[in-house]
Amino acid sequence: MIRRIPPLLGILLFTAVALAASSAKVLRFHKYSLMDPQGIGGEAASMLVPTDWKVDGRVVWRAHPALPAFGVVQATAPDGVTQFEAFPQMPFVDGVREMTARAAQMAGPQVAAQAAAQWPEGANYMGNEVRRVVRNPQTFIDRFVLPRNRQNVRYTVVKHEDLPKLAEAVARAQPRNPGINTSATAGRTRIEYRVGTATVEEDVYVVLVFNDMLQLQTNYWGTERSFACRAPKGQLDEMSKLFQTMLDSQRLNLQWFNKYNQVVQMLVQQQIRNIQRVGELSRYIAQTSSEISDMMRKSYEERQASQDRINRNFSEYVRGVETYRDPDRGQTVELPSGYNNAWYNGSTSEYIVTDSQLYNPNVEAGGNWTKLEKRE
């Protein structure tokens, strides 16, 4: 005998389920594309950001043969306070004054001194800022990152932590060349300041890479990555899962990576020292090929695998993400931990995580969503 649910009870049950689903904690992410309209063109990279966040990003080209372009991103929550920001890459060189002086010694000490004086602190040498090496991450953040990126706020340093395992992972990922000693350091500094009427905490991260040129006795060094995560005071640790998801999802575009590496090879081979006009860069970009060689594809895959390993190492400090697998595409993605279910919409490249077993975005949000499998 089939038992039928009384109409009133059915309505109450349906209402209870609907309310439970509607009150579920839900995070929705979409794919953000970092575009490069002034250089190679098209998408340079992508990352996942919360759907309701405002994102301002761009690719910046500059006069540097080995590092002619870098990306900057600022993603801000609707509250205007919670924020992720990727800072400009900073390349430096140390020892160029001494190298120049040694080369001019045959002409006498006065000429040697004059030659070294061409490169004062802060001068530009082949696109690199002439600066004495700073290996300590906290000192570097104090001297360079904060003065250049938080110069308009009155901040207080709360604490600092070195991240040696992250530094090791980055150092292992660097190419090895004869006659060059490569090393890395990493750390984060927490600061506190005000945004409008709100008091915020911000973790500023930096990873520094050092390339000691043994024969030339010079050191090409600088930031491998530098970024900051901000939230209202007392909420920053809780928000770490969301920030980690954004970091883990960063991907270079293969077509852009292919052309960018061709540009770098041409600039280095021609030993370009001063690229002042965009037109000169455009000439080199115009010579690039869209065809992706097996070697370039392998280089791209190795680089992305290396970055994934670095991100996983970084996760050890945050412990804020879990791996999900898409059963349809066979691909995996890192999403915030602490949620029961995750979904993907292939039409919009969006992800949803929720703590409710009852929430179904195909009903609640509309569209065509696939439930993801959590990897243990």
| Per-residue confidence band for 32, with pLDDT thresholds at 50, 70 and 90 | very high
The whole-angstrom separation of Cα 256 and Cα 285 is 11
In a shared domain, residues 203 and 130: yes
- Looking at the domain assignment, is residue 202 inside a domain? yes
The whole-angstrom separation of Cα 54 and Cα 74 is 8
- Looking at the domain assignment, is residue 78 inside a domain? no
Token pair belonging to 278: 């965009």
The whole-angstrom separation of Cα 97 and Cα 102 is 9
| 26 compared with 35, residue with greater pLDDT | 35
Nearest to 166 by CA among 67, 331, 309, 305: 309
**105 touches 97 (CB < 8 A):** no
**59 touches 86 (CB < 8 A):** no
- Looking at the domain assignment, is residue 2 inside a domain? no
Indicate whether 47 pLDDT > 70. yes
User: Per residue in 231-282, pLDDT tens?
Assistant: 999 999 988 888 988 888 888 898 998 888 888 888 877 765 445 444 566 6
In a shared domain, residues 12 and 139: no
In a shared domain, residues 103 and 229: yes
User: Per residue in 143-197, pLDDT tens?
Assistant: 999 999 999 999 999 999 999 988 998 888 888 888 899 999 999 999 999 999 9
Nearest to 48 by CA among 273, 324, 363: 324
Share of the chain above pLDDT 70, in %: 80
Nearest to 259 by CA among 286, 278, 224: 286
- Looking at the domain assignment, is residue 334 inside a domain? yes
In a shared domain, residues 228 and 280: no
Per the structure, how many domains does the chain have?
2
Domain extent for 214: 83-234
263 by Cβ neighbours in 10 Å (0-12 / 13-18 / 19+) ranks as: buried
Q: Give the per-residue pLDDT at 224.
A: 92
User: Per residue in 289-323, pLDDT tens?
Assistant: 666 677 767 776 777 776 666 666 555 555 567 88
Q: Which residues of 236-253 are buried (b: 16+ CB within 10 A; e: fewer)?
A: beebbbbbbbbbbbbbbb
Indicate whether 4 pLDDT > 60. no
| 115 compared with 211, residue with greater pLDDT | 211
**145 touches 87 (CB < 8 A):** yes
In a shared domain, residues 212 and 284: no
In a shared domain, residues 92 and 172: yes
- Looking at the domain assignment, is residue 77 inside a domain? no
In a shared domain, residues 300 and 179: no
Q: Give the per-residue pLDDT at 112.
A: 61
In a shared domain, residues 190 and 319: no
- Looking at the domain assignment, is residue 226 inside a domain? yes
Domain boundary among 171, 204, 234: 234
Share of the chain above pLDDT 90, in %: 41
**184 touches 149 (CB < 8 A):** no
Mean pLDDT check: name the lowest of 112-121, 216-225, 232-241: 112-121
| Per-residue confidence band for 340, with pLDDT thresholds at 50, 70 and 90 | confident
In a shared domain, residues 226 and 163: yes
Q: Give the per-residue pLDDT at 12.
A: 43
In a shared domain, residues 200 and 342: no
The whole-angstrom separation of Cα 332 and Cα 373 is 9
**364 touches 22 (CB < 8 A):** yes
In a shared domain, residues 210 and 339: no
- Looking at the domain assignment, is residue 306 inside a domain? yes
- The strand ranges marked E within the chain are 26-35, 43-50, 54-61, 69-76, 83-86, 91-94, 124-125, 128-130, 156-162, 180-195, 198-213, 218-232, 251-252, 321-325, 332-336, 341-345, 350-354, 369-371, 373-374
274 by Cβ neighbours in 10 Å (0-12 / 13-18 / 19+) ranks as: exposed
- Looking at the domain assignment, is residue 243 inside a domain? no
In a shared domain, residues 321 and 272: yes
DSSP 305-349: HHHHHHHHHHHHHH--EEEEE-TTT--EEEEESS-SEEEEETTTT
Nearest to 167 by CA among 186, 193, 182: 186
Distance (Å) of CA 212 to CA 143, 311, 373? 21, 25, 46
Q: What is the pTM of this model?
A: 0.79
